[in-house]
Amino acid sequence: MKTLVIDSHKGTNKPTTNLHWQNARTLATALGGDLIWSYPGVNDAIKGGYDRIVFVHASHYAYTDYAWLEASPDAKLFYITNEYNLGEPRTLWMAAKAGRRYTVLANHPHAASKVVMKYVDEWQLHNLNALCYAPKGEPQQDASGCIYWGSFRKGRTPYFQKYLASGAVTISTHQKNREKFEAIGVSGPFIPRLDIDGGGLTRFRTALYIEDEVTHTHYNYLANRFYEALSWGVLPVFDESCRGTVDKSGYADATFVTGPDAISNAGLVPSAWGAQALVERENVVAALVAEIRR
């Protein structure tokens, strides 16, 4: 079976630390398939004859050409997404409008998604975020403080104001996001985006875990940040509003807090969590491969 994996990442044709790209590479390797993304020259030599075409994530900036799908008119199509507020990739949407249908492999229910269900044959739930787990190291001996990293998300505004306005949590984000944080009363301390693959998290003892309000009622598995923190032995500290997600995910002895003052009393990562995350990763890879090859 010949498989093509199309990731939404835009950049050079070299490997990247982009998390979605890494997940796409993991899947392409497990499937024995080809992997393309939006790099210069990607559309110069269109290949055909694929039995399966798998889209990973979506981006308005991706420019893999629709000709890739036209060259494999009978390929079964899949869309893998762990972001509920994204719709379909542009080229997949073009295929749908031309009459082709596809299967969604997501970590959130379709009720929370922007994907148009009219063109979807099947919607399956998988713990996609576990793909990014891999034991990589431990915090530095002098690690201290709590870190929050990522972009500004409107759905987390109440929790940003609750935890990030006091100065108790360091915020790692792109410069372009700072104005959005500052507009809601968050003044830092800010630091540039961490090199997580390079061990940037190991400077910190704990990682703040908050989630979008919609996730409280639409189970989304634990986020990438949980598995990224766990990969480096950094303790995720959960706002109490995340209790439903944690309970459904089955991670016992989690640390919950009600405000920034309680974070400093957090303990260590439970010893069983690493093994549990590794099993989850192995299981989701096997499940995705089995479904795509079915």
CA angle 37/9/98 to nearest 5° reads 60
**pLDDT tens-place string over residues 229-253:** 999 999 999 999 999 999 999 999 9
**pLDDT tens-place string over residues 182-206:** 999 998 999 999 999 999 999 999 9
Rounded CA-CA distance 2/223 in Å is 31
Q: At residue 293, does pLDDT exceed 80?
A: yes
CATH architecture of 3-125: 3-Layer(aba) Sandwich (3.40)
Sign of CA dihedral 12, 24, 109, 278: negative
CA angle 96/99/101 to nearest 5° reads 55
Query: Confidence band (pLDDT; 50, 70, 90) for 75?
Result: very high
pLDDT at 265: 72
Rounded CA-CA distance 214/210 in Å is 12
CATH architecture of 146-276: 3-Layer(aba) Sandwich (3.40)
Q: Which residues contact 7 (CB under 8 A, 6 or more apart)?
A: 20, 21, 24, 25, 35, 36, 37, 56, 57
- Contact predicate 152/181, CB 8 Å: yes
- Is it true that 3-125 and 146-276 share their CATH fold? yes
- Contact predicate 37/6, CB 8 Å: yes
**pLDDT tens-place string over residues 2-31:** 999 999 999 999 999 889 999 999 999 999
Mean pLDDT of 80-84: 94
- Domain ranges across the chain: 3-125, 146-276
Q: Which residues contact 294 (CB under 8 A, 6 or more apart)?
A: none
**pLDDT tens-place string over residues 28-53:** 999 999 999 999 999 999 999 999 99
**Number of Cβ within a 10 Å radius of residue 198:** 10
pLDDT at 66: 96
pLDDT at 58: 83
